[in-house]
Amino acid sequence: MKKLIILCAIVFMFSFTSHARNQISVVGSSTVYPFSTVVAENFGRDTGMKTPKIESTGSGGGMKLFCAGLGVNHPDITNSSRRIKKSELEKCSKAGIEVVEIKVGYDGIVIANSKKSEKFNLSKRDIFLALAKDVPEGNAEGGKLIPNPNKTWKEVNSNLPDIKIEVLGPPPTSGTRDAFNELAIEGGCKTFPNLKAIKKEDKKKYKAICRAVREDGVYIEAGENDNLIVQKLAENKNALGVFGFSFLAENEDKIQGSNIDGNEPTFENIASKAYPVSRPLYFYIKNAHVDVIPGIREFVEAYTSDDAFGPDGYLSERGLIPMPDEEREFFRKSGQEMIILDKL
């Protein structure tokens, strides 16, 4: 494998000399997109180098593009609102790509609605019963699994509003969708002892039950543009939307976040882990492109500076939840030394 990586690097260097690119190319997560965009803008202004090109393709889409190959036709960095999967790391490795992992910070996944509507107080069980593909008959513990019949929030929980369930959210290519399925929907599934018990017997079956989202039009895939979901919530007072906390923080004049298990989606609650639906954010660097594409080292240095991702950095003002000092220092060093991620 090492010989393959060296050969790929030589081919990359040879092909690059006659087709130079002087702008960093970044793809990936729509959640990390606004953070990377502001770092890129500041980087371009402060260094005089060309401002990196940031594209929102979704975490899965970004990984696919990132691991496709080396050279100027492939991105240098991919953002991700989940950690790289083992299968993706293996795909990168087969293409001769060495990967450097940088954790940016933390983010909460919110379920929000228009400020003109009643604020929701949801449990993870409510979320499961509203959005899972199959649920226990009668929403009762021990009930046999049936296709989700719940049409209104009141059918899910008598304390919730008597309006139809309509949730706008990200598609399967999104890291936010992956994390939401795992933390919120599966989190609610586990409150049913008989469903939780399946995990010990058959993990594949358990995951199929506890993470599958209904496909009858109640959950509406709204693409990778979270700002579009925010816009649609402002127009439809009965709809709810799923996206990262930063989009709530930037639009608090229009939308409000639902409480989950009694915890409000606030900066403080996510930082303290009191808010139950939160996850880490990352970006990944293509090591062979470092020192070949101008500015990658400097961009990573800017991103991992305390001025950016520190406790008082400008990214926290945008809704990023900073990591503890020791964790920040670890990933800062990973960026400085370009430490290769060789296994998960």
For the chain, percent of residues with pLDDT exceeding 90: 85
108-278 shares the fold of 2-106+280-337:
yes
Report the alpha-carbon distance of residue 23 to residue 47 in Å, rounded. Answer: 13
Span 64-91, mean pLDDT? 96
Span 121-149, mean pLDDT? 96
Residue 12 has pLDDT above 60, yes or no: no
Span 300-312, mean pLDDT? 97
pLDDT at 21: 85
Domain 108-278 architecture: 3-Layer(aba) Sandwich (3.40)
Q: Spell out a b/e string for 38-50, using b for 16 or more CB atoms within 10 Å of the CB, else e.
A: bbbebbbeeeebe
Of the pLDDT bands very low, low, confident and very high (cuts 50, 70, 90), residue 218 is very high
pLDDT digits (tens, 9 = 90+) for 311-338: 999 999 998 999 999 999 999 999 999 9
Q: Do the Cβ atoms of 1 and 93 come closer than 8 Å? A: yes
Report the alpha-carbon distance of residue 328 to residue 339 in Å, rounded. Answer: 15
Range in 3-12, 63-72, 90-99, 288-297 the model is least confident about: 3-12
pLDDT digits (tens, 9 = 90+) for 46-64: 999 999 999 999 999 999 9
Residue 170 has pLDDT above 80, yes or no: yes
pLDDT digits (tens, 9 = 90+) for 262-278: 999 999 999 988 999 99
Handedness of CA 278, 126, 129, 143 (dihedral sign): positive
Residue 1 has pLDDT above 70, yes or no: no
CATH topology of domain 2-106+280-337: D-Maltodextrin-Binding Protein; domain 2 (3.40.190)
pLDDT at 224: 77
> Token match 């998960």: residue?
344
pLDDT at 223: 78
Range in 8-17, 82-91, 167-176 the model is least confident about: 8-17
Report the alpha-carbon distance of residue 242 to residue 112 in Å, rounded. Answer: 7
3-state SS, residue 226: helix
- pTM for this model (two decimals): 0.83
Take residue 172 and report the two structure tokens written for it.
């399967």
Report the alpha-carbon distance of residue 93 to residue 194 in Å, rounded. Answer: 40
Where along the chain do its domains lie? 2-106+280-337, 108-278
pLDDT at 179: 92
pLDDT at 18: 46
Span 219-246, mean pLDDT? 90
